[in-house]
Amino acid sequence: MSCHRIVLPQSRRDFLMNAGAGFGGVVLSALTGQRLYGADLGTKNPVVDKIPHHFGKAKNVIFLFMEGGPSHLDLFDPKPLLNKLAGKPLPESFERPVTAMGEAGSPLLGSKREWKQHGESGLWISDWLPKHSAIADDLCVIRSCVSDGINHAGGVAQMNTGSVFGGRPSLGAWVNYGMGSVSENLPAFVVIKDSNAMVVNGTRCWGSGFMPASYQGTLFESGTEPVANLNLPKGITGERQSGKLAFLDQLNQGHLRGRQSNTELEARIQSYELAYRMQAEAPEAIDLESESEGMKSMYGLDEDHTRVFGRQCLMARRLVERGVRFVQLYHGAGSKWDSHSGMEKNHSRLCGNVDQPIVGLIQDLKQRGLLDETLVIWGGEFGRTPMSEKGDGRDHNPTGFTMWMAGGGVKGGQTIGATDELGLHATEDRLHVHDLHATVLDLLGLDHSKVVYMHKGRPERVDLNEGEVLKL
């Protein structure tokens, strides 16, 4: 078929503009008791649930992002040769990498970890994650991941958006765009950090890029009040608030006239509408105190060192249970997993923070029958080098590192791909970030080649037209 005969899908913006209305036609509809459909549009609100391209077991995604780059060599990818050659230079037979800190010529750093095989699958897991032994047969460990980002800015940007340069839609935004939301009273895409520290690249990691701003992630705060100002102010009735918001709607619509191309304005108006509806459902969704003491303990909420990430993981389960499509949890916000020196102390502490909460999440999803439809992803922006840095640390390694998936139609208890004998380069079943993103969409029932957004006359895809699906 020649190019001029191909009919490309419209962007949501194009559809709305061609229909003669934007979100100004549906703003704050909940205030009047109307459904979230625009009467003058004759169609559903574009953010509600959509039909997938093919059957996919996964309906939701929880992305456990370890920011800073955890060491695959000390967690899931044992290398006996590394300890045999510890203190010696990288053998000449290995391709010399370009490293962030120029440590390619430094001596090799052996691993101090004790390794054991776990589960019926015999999955190798180090003693830094001892509780992971209980979920070994649920994990699909991919040892051959590859990124183009040699530093944190580029690595985090690409793992989240597909590009080492900021500005493109995030993976969560693409999922939101392709599948829509199950719940009308909660955001489709939620982001939760483990501290007040900012993730590298900030909000661009969960932004919508050139898509309408309504597809971006909603940031929930860490701590006991994830959503600020959720409850009505003291002395303000629901009727009074409705009147105030209705008046605000009039002002917003007046401001929007003549500015229909500004998606941020539309998204802000839509956010007011969502915020109003969230007051009915969100308080219950984020109320962790309603969970049993046994459940809290399962996630590690009864221990100081696991409480923060445990709350994030438990919150993620409660959100996907209520229809949130994509939840991204950041652990180590501000590149805390970065370990150029003092890696033993750094990784010991951070692994201790996440071990129990992650196991609790997988086991909880499984016993509730939610794991089959919830894809859980673990990993960072890259791994670490076998060469030492400052004697007791490792540099960035984007040329071969480990991530894992569980649930969502993924077969557990398997190891895919491999790195070389020192864990420096991926050598088998190389999985680039573009392939990872294409695979995530495939598991959700979306054909990554058909999830297209027109931007400046160009059909854009999550994988920048370079990804291939890995069948898991």
Residues carrying CATH 3.40.720, the chain: 47-91+99-226+290-460
Q: Amino acid letter at 314?
A: L
Q: What is the CATH number of domain 47-91+99-226+290-460?
A: 3.40.720
As given in the structure block, the two tokens for residue 316 are: 């993620």
Residue 35 pLDDT greater than 60, yes or no: no
Asked if residues 155 and 381 have their Cβ atoms less than 8 Å apart, the reply is yes
Cβ atoms 160, 198 nearer than 8 A: no
SS (H, E, C) 234-265: CCCCHHHHHHHHHHHHHHHHHHHCCCCCCHHH
| Mean predicted confidence (pLDDT) in 5-31 | 35
Beta bridge partners of 387: 108
Element (H, E) at 91: none
Inter-CA distances, 435 with 150, 171, 217, 376, 471, Å: 18, 12, 22, 17, 11
Distance from C-alpha of 358 to C-alpha of 194, rounded to nearest angstrom: 14
Phi, psi dihedral angles at 343 (to 5 degrees)? -65, -35
pLDDT at 200: 96
Mean pLDDT of 29-57: 46
Residue 98 makes CB contacts below 8 A (sequence gap 6+) with 104, 150
- Give me the pLDDT at residue 47, please: 43
| 275 pLDDT higher than 70 | no
One-letter amino acid at 413 equals G
pLDDT tens, 213-223? 889 999 997 76
CA–CA dist 347, 72 (Å, integer): 11
Q: Residue 41 pLDDT > 80, yes or no?
A: no
Using 50, 70 and 90 to split pLDDT, how confident is the model at 52?
A: confident
Average pLDDT, the chain: 86
Q: What pLDDT score does 326 carry?
A: 98
Mode of pairing for the β-strands spanning 189-193 and 139-146: unpaired
Per-residue model confidence (pLDDT) at position 229: 56
For 351-387, write each residue's pLDDT tens digit. 999 999 999 999 999 999 999 999 999 999 999 999 9
What is the percent of the chain where pLDDT is above 90?
69
Least confident of 29-43, 166-180, 335-349: 29-43
**CA separation, residue 162 to residues 155, 167, 364, 403 (Å):** 9, 10, 31, 16
What digits encode the pLDDT tens for the residues 412-432? 999 999 999 999 999 999 999
pLDDT of residue 97: 86
Closest CA to 14 of 271, 261, 270, 266: 261
Q: What is the pLDDT of residue 54?
A: 77
* Helical axes 304-321 vs 343-367, angle rounded to 10°: 40
Token digits for 313? 């993981």
Residue 21 pLDDT > 70: no
Judged against a pLDDT cut of 50, whether residue 9 lies above it is answered with no
Choose between 105 and 12: higher pLDDT: 105
- The predicted model scores a pTM of 0.84
Query: Does the structure show a pLDDT above 90 at 255?
Result: no
Predicted local distance difference test score (pLDDT) of residue 250: 77
The helix/strand/coil state of 432 is strand
pLDDT for 419 equals 98
36: confidence class by pLDDT, cuts 50, 70, 90: very low
Question: How many angstroms separate the first and last alpha carbons of the chain?
Answer: 32
